[in-house]
C-alpha cells in the first residue's frame, strides 16, 4: 500500500499545485490568438501636379502611392498623411493594412518632403491643405472609390502629428471628408510653440526654442533626430520650386518656404513671438476654423508630449462637440517625448472608428444628416487613458493597461477637489541670459527625456528633472490621508511681482513619504505675465496628467525662472511669487481598467518546466512516460515531424508540419498572421500539447517538464518583467527560479548582449520598449542555451539596434549553437538567417537555404543617377506593377513587361541607366509563395 503524504505537507503541495496549475491555465488560455491577413496589396505609384501656390500658374509634383483593395466593388477611401520629416513611405505598412480592410488608401509625400516638390509651409490652407483637397478631387474621379453623390467620394483622413493636423484642416476646408482620426497633433500651433501668445501674459508667448529648433533643423537638414526622413533624401527645392538651384538663403532654410523661415529666424533671435509668427501659425491651426470642424473625430493624444500636450486635443474635442459631432478621446502613454508605444491598440481603435463612420453606410449617412441640421452641441463620447499596470495580453502592449469610460468630460474632469498649499511668498532670481537653466525634459531626444515617466508609486529613478537653487519657489500640500487620482489639468491662483515681463515655469510633483519627488511625464507649464512690476494675480493651468497619488504622499507646486527647452528673458531680474488659492485637482469618474497582472509565464520555459515537475511530485501523480530518445538525433538541435494542433471547433492551427534544423543554422520561421508560427513555438517550448506528431530537441521528445528543455532558451510573445525591479535583478531572479547554479548563467555574456549599460540598475518600468526587448533577449540567452528560439526579437528596436541584434544572432550561431527566429521583417531575415521555413494556414509551404528560396525573380534592380525621374518615367507602363527608389537606383517589380521594354522606356525618357540586374528579395519570394497558396 502506498504511504500517504502527511496532511500539512499535502496541503502545502496542493496549494502550490493550484498556483502552478492556474499559471499554466493562463498560459493555455493565451494560446490561441487570431490575426488579420497579410496578403499582397496592389499599389500604383504616380506623380500628381498641383498648383505651386494661390493664383500661381506654376505646378509642382506630389509623389503619391495608391493602395487598392481586392473588393471587386467601389470602396471607401482614406487619405493617410505622414509626420514631419517623413514621407509617404513612413505610412506604407498602415496603408497596406487599410487596403486589406477594404479601403482605397492614398498616401503622398507632403510638399517639401520625400520626392515631392515645393516648400514646407506648415500645413497652411493655400498649400498643404490645397494639395490634400486636390487628392480628394482625384479620388472623386475614380470609379473604384465609393460615392455618396455627384462629386462626393466616401473618404476619411488620418495621420499623426503633421499629418494629423492636416487631417483636421482638410475636414474643416473640405466638407467631402466623412471622418477623421488624428494622432499626437495640434489644435493651435501658436499655442503649442509659443504658449501664452496673446493670452494671460501678453502677446509675446514663451518660445519652445528646443522643439522649434529640432523641427527647423529637420526641415532644413533633411531629417528628424536620429537620421534622414523616412523615405529618403528630399527632392525638389525649398523656395525655388522643383529643380531650382539652392541659393545661400535656401541652404540656410532648407525646404522651408521663405516666410516660414523668416518667422522662425526672428522668433529664435528674440525669443518672443511676433504678430507675423502668431498669424502664420494660426493660419495652419484647426483652432482658426473651429466652427468648420463638422465631422466625427477620434482624437489620440500622447501623455508624454511636451510639444503637443493633451490640452491641444482637449481644445479640438470642445470645438467638434460644440458643432454637434461625435468625439472619442484617447490618451496614450507615448508622445513626441517617447515612452511606451501602443501601436496595435491605436491601430485597432483607429480602424474601428473609420469603419464606423466611413466604411459603414449608416455612419456616413448619420454624418450627412447631422450636417444638414443646425448646430446642436453634443457631449463627448468614450474616453480611454493609458495607465501603468502590467501587460494587456489582447494587444501585446507592454507595461501599460487601458482605463476606459463612457464619456470624456474635458480637461477639468468630472469632479474636483481643493488641496491647500503651505508656504510663504518667496523670492526667485532670473539669472543673466537664463543660464544655467532648470530642466524639465529634453525635447527632441525621445525616451531619454522621459525616463521613469510611467512610475506608478514614488521613486525618482531615471528622472532628469533639475530645479536650480535660487531660481525656484516651492509650495507643498499637507500629507494626504487617502489615495486619489488626478486626471486632467490642475489649476491654481498665484500672485507674481517684480518686473513688467515675467516668465515662470510651473510644475506639479508627487512627493512620497521619504521625500522623493516625481514630475509626471516631466511636463512644465510656461507662464508669461506682463505688467506685473507692482504685482498681478493670475490663474495657472498645469499640464494635463493622469496619475494616482498614494496615501501618505504630498503634492508640491514648483515655480522656476528658467527651463532648458524654452527661451527666457536675458536680463537678470528678481521676482516674488505667492500662492493665493488652493490647488484645484480634477478627476474623472467611471474610468475602469482591467485587473493588473504580470505575465509570469513569459519568464521562460525553465521556470514553467520546473513548476510543472513540482506539481507532479507534490501531488503524487505519476510522470507521463517519456518516449525514448533517438540516438541518431542527439546532435540535431531540432526536429519537428508530423506536427498537428487543432483548436476549439476543430480549426487547424498547425497541420502535418515537418522540418529539421542543424547546428550552426539561423532559421527564419516565416508566415502571415494566422499561419501557425506562434502555436508551433508554444509547442516547441512545451507550453501546449500537439494533437499529433512530435518535436524532438537533441533526440528527446518535448513534453512539459522535460529535462532537455534546459538546453532551450526562448523569448515568445513579449517580455514579462517585474517593473519595480532593476533589469539586473530581474535577470537574477529569473535564473534563481530555474533552480540551476548561478555559475551556469553566464551573466556577463548576457549583460554584454543587452548593451544597456547603467540602465541595468534602473527599474524596468523606466525602460523604453526597445530596452525591454534587449533585456528579454539577454534573459533568453542566460545559460548560453544550445537552441535559442526568439519571436519577433527586433520589435521595438531602432535601425542601429536591429543591426546590432543581427550581429549578435549571427555570432551566437557561429559558435555551433542554433537560433530559430520568427519575424515579419523579411529584409532582416534575409540578412540574418541561413535557412527559412515558410508556413501558411498551418502548413509548410517551403523550406531550405535562403538563397534557394529567393532564386531568380521578376524584379529588376536598375542603377541610375536619377531615380526620381526613373520612377516618373515608368509610372503607368503596361506590365510594371510598381517602381520604388532603392539606394542609387530603383527596383522595378514586373507584371508581364520584358526587361528590355523597361530599359527602352527609360532611355527614351532621357534617363541614364548604369546597370540592370535581376533581383528577387526574400519579400518577393515570400509573397509569391503565399500567393500561390490562396
For the chain of 934 residues, list the mean pLDDT of each consecutive stretch of 10. Answer: 41 39 36 43 93 93 96 94 91 92 97 94 96 97 95 96 97 97 95 73 73 72 37 33 39 81 84 85 95 97 93 97 96 83 82 94 90 84 81 42 91 96 94 87 55 36 71 95 95 95 95 90 92 93 95 96 90 95 95 54 41 44 55 88 84 90 90 83 84 91 78 72 80 79 82 75 79 83 88 74 78 86 75 85 84 65 88 89 84 82 87 75 59 54
pLDDT of residue 914: 82
| Whether CATH 3.40.190.10 fits 415-587 | no
600-853 and 42-192+284-405 share a CATH fold: yes
Burial of 463 (0-12, 13-18, 19+ CB in 10 A): buried
Q: Tell me, what's the pLDDT at 590?
A: 87
Q: What is the assigned CATH class of domain 600-853?
A: alpha beta
Q: What is the CA radius of gyration of the chain?
A: 30
Architecture of domain 42-192+284-405: 3-Layer(aba) Sandwich (3.40)
Largest CA distance in the chain: 101
Distances (CA, A) of 498 to 300, 388, 507, 569, 572: 41, 42, 21, 13, 11
The reported pLDDT for the residue numbered 302 is: 93
Q: What is the pLDDT of residue 718?
A: 54
Q: Domain locations in the chain? A: 42-192+284-405, 193-283, 415-587, 600-853, 855-932
Question: What grid cell was written down for 261?
Answer: 523661415
Report the predicted TM-score, pTM, of the whole model to 2 decimal places: 0.62
- The residues facing 838 across adjacent strands are 670, 846
The four Cα atoms 83, 89, 94, 95 give a dihedral, to 10 degrees, of 110
pLDDT (0 to 100) of residue 20: 37
Interior angle at CA 507, CA 226 and CA 449, nearest 5: 15
- Top-tier CATH class for 855-932: alpha beta
Helices (H), 255-398: 258-270, 275-283, 310-322, 343-354, 361-372
According to the model, what pLDDT value does residue 37 have? Answer: 42
Are the C-beta atoms of residues 475 and 509 closer than 8 Å to each other?
no
Amino acid at each position: 500500500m502506498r504511504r500517504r503524504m502527511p496532511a500539512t505537507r499535502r496541503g502545502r503541495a496542493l496549494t502550490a499545485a493550484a498556483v502552478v496549475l492556474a499559471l499554466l491555465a493562463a498560459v493555455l488560455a493565451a494560446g490561441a490568438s487570431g490575426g488579420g491577413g497579410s496578403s499582397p496589396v496592389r499599389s500604383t505609384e504616380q506623380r500628381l501636379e498641383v498648383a505651386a501656390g494661390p493664383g500661381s500658374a506654376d505646378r509642382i509634383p506630389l509623389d503619391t502611392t495608391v493602395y487598392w483593395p481586392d473588393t471587386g466593388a467601389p470602396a471607401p477611401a482614406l487619405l493617410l498623411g505622414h509626420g514631419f520629416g517623413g514621407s509617404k513611405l513612413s505610412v506604407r505598412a498602415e496603408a497596406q493594412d487599410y487596403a486589406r480592410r477594404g479601403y482605397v488608401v492614398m498616401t503622398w509625400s507632403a510638399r517639401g518632403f520625400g520626392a515631392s516638390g515645393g516648400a514646407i509651409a506648415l500645413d497652411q490652407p493655400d498649400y498643404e491643405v490645397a494639395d490634400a483637397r486636390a487628392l480628394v478631387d482625384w479620388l472623386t474621379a475614380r470609379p473604384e472609390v465609393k460615392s455618396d453623390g455627384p462629386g462626393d467620394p466616401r473618404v476619411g483622413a488620418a495621420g499623426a502629428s503633421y499629418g494629423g493636423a492636416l487631417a483636421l484642416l482638410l475636414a474643416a476646408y473640405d466638407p467631402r471628408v466623412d471622418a477623421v482620426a488624428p494622432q499626437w497633433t495640434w489644435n493651435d500651433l501658436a499655442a503649442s510653440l509659443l504658449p501664452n501668445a496673446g493670452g494671460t501674459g501678453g502677446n509675446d508667448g514663451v518660445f519652445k526654442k528646443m522643439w522649434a529648433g529640432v523641427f527647423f533643423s529637420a526641415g532644413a537638414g533633411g531629417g528628424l533626430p536620429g537620421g534622414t526622413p523616412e523615405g529618403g533624401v528630399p527632392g525638389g527645392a525649398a523656395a525655388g520650386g522643383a529643380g531650382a538651384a539652392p541659393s545661400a538663403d535656401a541652404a540656410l532654410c532648407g525646404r522651408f518656404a521663405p516666410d516660414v523661415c523668416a518667422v522662425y529666424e526672428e522668433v529664435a533671435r528674440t525669443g518672443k513671438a511676433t504678430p507675423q509668427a502668431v498669424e502664420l501659425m494660426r493660419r495652419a491651426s484647426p483652432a482658426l476654423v473651429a466652427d468648420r470642424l463638422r465631422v466625427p473625430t477620434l482624437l489620440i493624444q500622447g501623455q508624454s508630449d511636451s510639444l503637443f500636450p493633451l490640452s491641444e486635443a482637449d481644445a479640438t474635442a470642445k470645438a467638434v462637440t460644440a458643432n454637434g459631432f461625435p468625439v472619442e478621446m484617447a490618451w496614450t502613454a507615448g508622445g513626441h517625448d517617447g515612452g511606451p508605444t501602443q501601436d496595435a491598440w491605436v491601430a485597432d481603435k483607429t480602424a474601428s472608428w473609420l469603419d464606423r463612420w466611413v466604411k459603414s453606410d449608416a455612419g456616413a449617412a448619420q454624418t450627412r444628416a447631422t450636417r444638414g441640421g443646425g448646430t446642436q452641441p453634443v457631449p463627448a463620447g468614450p474616453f480611454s487613458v493609458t495607465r501603468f499596470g502590467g501587460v494587456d495580453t489582447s494587444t501585446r502592449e507592454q507595461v501599460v493597461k487601458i482605463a476606459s469610460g463612457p464619456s470624456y468630460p474635458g480637461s477639468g474632469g468630472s469632479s474636483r477637489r481643493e488641496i491647500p498649499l503651505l508656504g510663504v511668498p518667496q523670492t526667485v532670481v532670473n539669472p543673466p541670459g537664463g543660464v544655467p537653466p532648470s530642466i524639465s525634459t529634453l525635447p527632441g531626444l525621445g525616451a531619454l527625456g522621459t525616463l521613469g515617466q510611467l512610475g506608478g508609486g514614488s521613486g525618482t529613478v531615471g528622472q532628469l528633472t533639475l530645479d536650480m537653487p535660487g531660481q525656484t519657489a516651492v509650495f507643498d500640500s499637507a500629507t494626504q490621508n487617502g489615495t486619489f487620482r488626478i486626471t486632467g489639468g490642475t489649476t491654481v491662483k498665484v500672485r507674481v511681482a517684480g518686473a513688467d515681463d515675467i516668465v515662470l515655469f510651473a510644475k506639479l510633483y508627487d512627493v512620497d513619504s521619504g521625500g522623493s519627488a516625481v514630475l509626471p511625464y516631466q511636463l512644465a507649464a510656461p507662464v508669461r505675465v506682463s505688467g506685473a512690476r507692482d504685482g498681478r494675480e493670475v490663474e495657472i493651468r498645469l499640464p494635463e496628467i493622469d496619475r494616482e497619488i498614494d496615501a501618505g504622499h504630498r503634492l508640491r507646486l514648483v515655480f522656476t525662472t528658467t527651463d532648458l527647452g524654452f527661451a527666457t528673458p536675458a536680463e537678470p531680474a528678481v521676482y516674488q511669487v505667492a500662492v493665493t488659492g488652493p490647488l484645484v485637482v480634477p478627476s474623472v469618474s467611471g474610468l475602469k481598467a482591467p485587473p493588473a497582472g504580470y505575465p509570469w509565464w513569459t519568464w521562460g520555459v525553465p521556470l514553467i518546466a520546473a513548476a510543472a515537475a513540482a506539481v507532479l511530485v507534490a501531488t503524487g501523480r505519476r510522470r507521463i512516460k517519456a518516449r525514448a530518445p533517438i540516438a541518431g538525433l542527439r546532435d540535431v538541435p531540432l526536429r519537428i515531424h508530423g506536427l498537428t494542433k487543432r483548436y476549439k471547433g476543430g480549426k487547424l492551427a498547425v497541420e502535418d508540419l515537418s522540418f529539421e534544423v542543424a547546428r550552426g543554422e539561423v532559421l527564419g520561421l516565416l508566415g502571415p498572421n494566422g499561419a501557425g508560427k506562434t502555436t508551433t513555438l508554444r509547442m516547441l517550448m512545451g507550453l501546449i500539447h500537439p494533437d499529433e506528431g512530435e518535436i524532438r530537441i537533441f533526440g528527446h521528445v518535448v513534453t512539459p517538464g522535460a529535462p532537455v528543455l534546459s538546453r532551450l532558451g526562448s523569448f515568445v510573445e513579449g517580455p514579462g518583467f517585474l517593473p519595480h525591479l532593476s533589469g539586473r535583478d530581474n535577470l537574477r531572479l529569473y535564473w534563481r527560479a530555474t533552480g540551476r547554479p548561478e555559475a551556469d548563467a553566464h551573466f556577463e555574456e548576457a549583460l554584454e548582449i543587452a548593451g544597456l549599460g547603467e540602465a541595468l540598475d534602473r527599474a524596468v518600468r523606466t525602460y523604453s520598449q526597445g530596452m525591454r526587448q534587449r533585456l528579454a533577449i539577454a534573459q533568453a540567452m542566460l545559460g548560453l542555451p544550445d537552441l535559442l528560439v526568439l519571436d519577433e526579437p527586433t520589435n521595438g528596436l531602432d535601425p542601429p539596434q536591429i543591426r546590432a541584434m543581427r550581429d549578435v544572432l549571427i555570432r551566437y550561431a557561429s559558435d555551433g549553437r542554433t537560433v530559430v527566429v520568427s519575424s515579419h521583417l523579411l529584409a532582416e531575415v534575409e540578412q540574418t538567417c541561413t535557412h527559412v521555413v515558410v508556413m501558411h494556414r498551418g502548413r509548410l509551404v517551403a523550406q531550405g537555404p535562403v538563397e534557394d528560396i529567393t532564386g531568380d525573380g521578376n524584379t529588376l534592380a536598375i542603377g541610375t543617377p536619377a531615380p526620381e525621374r526613373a520612377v516618373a518615367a515608368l509610372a503607368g507602363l503596361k506590365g510594371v506593377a510598381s517602381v520604388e527608389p532603392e539606394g542609387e537606383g530603383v527596383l522595378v517589380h514586373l507584371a508581364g513587361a520584358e526587361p528590355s521594354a523597361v530599359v527602352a522606356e527609360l532611355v527614351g525618357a532621357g534617363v541614364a541607366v548604369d546597370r540592370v540586374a535581376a533581383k528577387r528579395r526574400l519579400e518577393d519570394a515570400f509573397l509569391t509563395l503565399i500567393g500561390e497558396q490562396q
